[in-house]
Structure 1
Amino acid sequence: MKKFFFQKIETNAADWVNFSYFYDENTIEKKLIDFQTNSFSYNFAFVGTKIPKKLSYKVPFFRILYVMKGAIKLTLDRKRIPCNEGSFIIANPYTYILYQEQTENTEVLTLCFKNSFFSKNVIDSMRNYPLFYNFFQAALHSKFDKSNYLFFETPICEYRLFLVLQILMAVTNDDYNQALCESSFILLIARLHGVIDEFLNIRNTSMENHILVGDIIRYTRANFQNISLEKLSKIYYIHPNYLSALIRKETGMTFSEHITNIRMTRAIDFLLNTNLKIEDISHELGYSDKTYFYRSFKEVYQTSPSKYRKYAHKLEHN
């Protein structure tokens, strides 16, 4: 039933969404110049089709490409990637994109977003989707000037993503208010977040390590009580082995050592600044077994928590 519903939407898409179809690179470049110089326009959408030569236009925008029909030969920077129906790319303004249609019926949806599209509301709404939040933040709010892109391979039956793209395309081209465009964009991000495990092609994705690692470290510091490498890998959609290597490179410690270091630092704070019992401190730090807390503490400080507290209080009153 789902497959039939999607096929029906795909067949009649142009009937109920006001697509802008462009058939040559000169037209596309002129429209993009108009978009760039229009200070009241923040995002722009079109469909390229029946274009005989390679498209190599450059734009200073975030771009989304979605192969609606057919197939293309895609080059992202210097990497060649074959793309078929359902291929989906998000690229930052520093990514060089070149593609050529491979079939007569090829249709490629392109969405462009100026930096000004990403209001505080849009950025804040992406905080629940860390992969995308960090992707956009890196290019928007730092001196970062390197190419980054995310590559998804979605099946033809992934009709929900197609529907969200249709909505975003419609509100972009029909001059709806900006709030509706922003909401549609967040809906798209939410949908992509839901299919990362299945459809994000890590091999064809380029994302600088430092974009993620800072946020990963901050997350572990805020959630050290019940975090594990497996949980963290699911949150950030990174293989546990690769995630562990990133943390070690950043901190000089293994994941386990990093978490223990955070817990021991907090343990000292509890011992010196609260009257909590040692057992309660152990619980607050996320240890299910207080014996393990005692052993970890002694390995780091060469004494027990209670002796550390007594000695510290004694020094304070001398």
Structure 2
Amino acid sequence: MTINELDKYLKTYTVDELFYKEYYLAKQDPAKLKEFIDKADMKLIKEKSLIVPDIDDVDIMEPYLLIEEYVFEHKKDYHILASKHFRYTPEFTHKHSFFEMIYVYSGKCEQNIMGDNILLKEGDICIVPPDVEHSISVFDDSVVINVIIRSTTFNDTFLEVLSEENILSSFFTKILYTKNYNNYIIFRTNNSDSIRSFMSHIIMESIENEQYSNKILDNFLMILFAHLLRDKKHTVELPKELQKSNKQLTSILTYIQGNYKSVTLEDLSKEFHFSVPYLSKLIKANTGHTFKEMIQTIKLNKAIELLASSDLKIRDISDLIGYEDDNHFIRTFKKVYGVSPNQYRKNIMK
């Protein structure tokens, strides 16, 4: 698929979009709405799970919850999926168990995120974390892309973003490790050509679904993040709560993420000039987990990634993630996941 073919593909109306557009126009006149409902193809609506609040047989509960396992059901080895947001879809409040990145490919769209009304223009990128209620409105020919990013593998796949302190690492680290975090982050890219190019390749890889597309998508997203951070012409918008957040806590969490293999509370106390008891309480109060639990979670997440993507021996994986004793690693893994690392790998291969 070429860039021109992608452009034509995205701007062409799908069956779902044609249905939603007809529904949207019908709602402007009560008589036309009644006529639309009377002749509505219920088989099509149910087959495609179309959202039609005016038809009694279709019940949408808000906030509608989208589950990561369901979205990735047919692409279990993918961390990222990209698709077009169907134009004229009725606005409805929803939340999800994954990260969502909204990119305005052409035109504009409106978002309501936890009560904040936001206008996104062509080239803008908005990232919404899990469990945040929001809605999106696209009621014209604009093209908006939804990029879904697994939260369960985020920590490992995009480790480089989290390993140094920047606006994105602060955003993601707070979401992954604290109880208080911001509801969104927006990059106003001024319709950057480089960002558009990377986004186009992300969309194409997701559509074409060829061999190694999953790995290519991971790397394209990393490059996209790097460009967003490097280009000073891009402006960043954050909710007020992140702007007022505890910068020291972000620095501490980022340091833990970058040094998880060997870092101790004593190391942290020397690095940030706090006492060990104070640091221990600070981490527990803001994350809901002890320092030891955080380190164990990071290590085991990395172990899962290596078990799934490599043929490394268990002792080598144990060493790579910072366990001095591979028996200790095996016991810890089995206690948390109910199976040994070897059995976990066999289950994945099946």
TM bin (shorter chain): 0.5 to 0.7
In structure 1, C-alpha distance between the alignment counterparts of 2:230 and 2:133, rounded to whole Å: 27
**Pair 57,212 (structure 1): closer, same or farther in 2 beyond 3 Å:** same
For residues 41-60 of structure 1, what are the alpha-carbon distances to aligned partners after superposition, in whole Å with 9 as ceiling and x for unaligned?
Answer: 43221112432521433211
In structure 2, C-alpha distance between the alignment counterparts of 1:179 and 1:211, rounded to whole Å: 35
CA shift for structure 1 position 216: 4.2
Q: Does 1:45 align with 2:82?
A: yes
Partner residue, 2:203 = 169
Partner residue, 1:185 = 221
SS in 2 for 1:67: strand
Question: For the aligned residues, what is the CA RMSD?
Answer: 3.8
Partner residue, 1:302 = none
Partner residue, 1:114 = 150
In structure 1, C-alpha distance between the alignment counterparts of 2:129 and 2:253, rounded to whole Å: 24
**Pair 219,124 (structure 1): closer, same or farther in 2 beyond 3 Å:** closer
Partner residue, 1:214 = 249
- Superposition pairs of residues 270-309 of structure 1, within 5 angstroms: none
**TM-score, length-normalised on structure 1?**
0.54
In structure 2, C-alpha distance between the alignment counterparts of 1:184 and 1:59, rounded to whole Å: 23
Q: In terms of Rg, which structure is larger? A: 1
In structure 2, C-alpha distance between the alignment counterparts of 1:166 and 1:192, rounded to whole Å: 15
- Superposition pairs of residues 76-87 of structure 1, within 5 angstroms: 76-87=113-124
Letter in 2 for 1:151: I
Q: Does 1:62 align with 2:99?
A: yes
Partner residue, 2:37 = none
CA shift for structure 1 position 145: 5.6
Q: Contact 2:105 / 2:145 at 8 angstroms: preserved in 1?
A: yes
CA shift for structure 1 position 146: 4.2
In structure 2, C-alpha distance between the alignment counterparts of 1:216 and 1:129, rounded to whole Å: 7
**Pair 75,163 (structure 1): closer, same or farther in 2 beyond 3 Å:** same
Letter in 2 for 1:83: L
**Pair 208,27 (structure 1): closer, same or farther in 2 beyond 3 Å:** farther
Structure 1 unaligned blocks of 5 or more: 1-7, 221-249, 251-318
Partner residue, 1:136 = 172
2:71 alignment partner, one of 28, 32, 35: 35
SS in 2 for 1:54: coil
In structure 1, C-alpha distance between the alignment counterparts of 2:73 and 2:241, rounded to whole Å: 30
Partner residue, 1:13 = 6
Partner residue, 2:136 = 99
CA shift for structure 1 position 78: 0.7
**TM-score, length-normalised on structure 2?**
0.50
SS in 1 for 2:187: strand
CA shift for structure 1 position 127: 2.6
Partner residue, 2:190 = 155
Q: Contact 2:123 / 2:189 at 8 angstroms: preserved in 1?
A: yes
CA shift for structure 1 position 117: 3.3
For residues 191-221 of structure 1, what are the alpha-carbon distances to aligned partners after superposition, in whole Å with 9 as ceiling and x for unaligned?
Answer: 11023x433243657636446432447999x
Structure 2 unaligned blocks of 5 or more: 21-47, 52-63, 256-281, 283-350
CA shift for structure 1 position 147: 4.2
